[in-house]
Amino acid sequence: MVTKDQKRFFDEQGSLVVRSLFSPGEAASYRDHYMDLRAKGAYPGDSAGVDIGSDDPIKRYPRMIHMHRWDRRSLEWFLDPRIAGTLSGLLDREAIATQTMIYFKPPKARGQALHQDQFYLRVQPGTCIAAWMALDPCSEENGCLRVVPGSHRWPLLCTIKADTSVSFTDVTVPIPDGTEVRSMVMEPGDVLFFNGQVVHGSGPNDSNERYRRALIGHYVAGDAQKIAQFFHPALRMDGSVVELGVSEGGGACGVWVDGKGKPVIEMVGAGAEGPGGPAR
């Protein structure tokens, strides 16, 4: 399912959009399914809770997490052969499935500051990979995902405080001035696959009427041995449980420093081994 050109692009950029991996009709069906679930109340993993009277759009439509543990349709999407085949083609091995999420991002909702998924999953060894499916047309106006091409070559960066007036999360990672941040304009059924080191995020939804709903799966390469406790139990792509150890938190992270007029990453903290390579 993955062409040589797609594999080369993913290896070079750290991300790849597979257009129309799911049909617009399938995307609409998932969109209706999750809107119906959200309207019916709260679920395990709801971190924000539902508050239909809140002025904050995210509190009226908080994200859902780990839906595959209690919703059959989510599990079927999570392990869908089209996603499994794309992952195995990009990773050269079968993936391990660890988390599902649905973001509703209604009009005027805040976005999410730049971050790296591996900061949360803590996969050891290696990193994670995301499958991010658009359920609505995604543009800069309604807060499409934005990625930093090539940042999959970077280590985990040290986090700093985020601007919570535009981000619903309170931490972010800094990037050097002039670094490209690419807007991923997508249509319903398109799926963006990206490496867990890739720096990504999204701006606010500035639309007055448009949602930016997205269905997301997080996976790891098949040779991973540990992952953070929150992501247990993990599943093989046939749905069977795979035993993984619990990874430790903390550790070294990277900070940007001047390397003779060029920004480079220097590792600090536990286990740091000195300067990283130049930013690319």
At 133-151, the pLDDT tens digits run 999 999 999 999 999 999 9
Whether residues 226 and 268 share a domain: the answer is no
pLDDT tops 80 at residue 276? no
Mean pLDDT, the chain, whole residue set: 93
What's the pLDDT at 249? 78
What's the pLDDT at 277? 37
d(CA 140, CA 242): 39
Whether residues 236 and 272 share a domain: the answer is no
pLDDT digits (tens, 9 = 90+) for 227-265: 999 999 999 999 999 999 999 877 899 999 999 899 999
Collapse the DSSP code of 101 into the 3-class scheme (helix H, G, I; strand E, B; otherwise coil) and give the result: strand
What's the pLDDT at 36? 96
Whether residues 86 and 168 share a domain: the answer is yes
The angle that helices 81-91 and 4-13 make with each other, rounded to 10 degrees, is: 70
Whether residues 226 and 263 share a domain: the answer is no
pLDDT digits (tens, 9 = 90+) for 172-186: 999 999 999 999 999
- pTM recorded for the entire structure: 0.94
Contacts of 239 (CB under 8 A, 6+ apart): 75, 79
Scanning 40-176, the segments in alpha helix (DSSP H) are: 57-60, 72-78, 81-91, 118-121
| Cis peptide, bond prior to residue 137, ω within 30 of zero | no
Whether residues 265 and 220 share a domain: the answer is no
Whether residues 26 and 125 share a domain: the answer is yes
Whether residues 81 and 23 share a domain: the answer is yes
Whether residues 165 and 265 share a domain: the answer is no
Whether residues 172 and 278 share a domain: the answer is no
Both tokens of residue 41?
């109340």
**CATH of residue 231:** 2.60.120.620
Whether residues 49 and 101 share a domain: the answer is yes
Mean pLDDT, to the nearest integer, of 154-163?
A: 97
Whether residues 133 and 258 share a domain: the answer is no
E strand intervals along 21-94: 64-65
Boundaries of domain holding 82:
4-249
Whether residues 225 and 266 share a domain: the answer is no
pLDDT digits (tens, 9 = 90+) for 91-123: 999 999 999 999 999 999 999 999 999 999 999
The count of domains in the chain is 2
Q: Is 163 exposed, middle or buried (0-12, 13-18, 19+ CB in 10 A)?
A: exposed
Tell me the pLDDT band of 49, cut-offs 50, 70 and 90. low
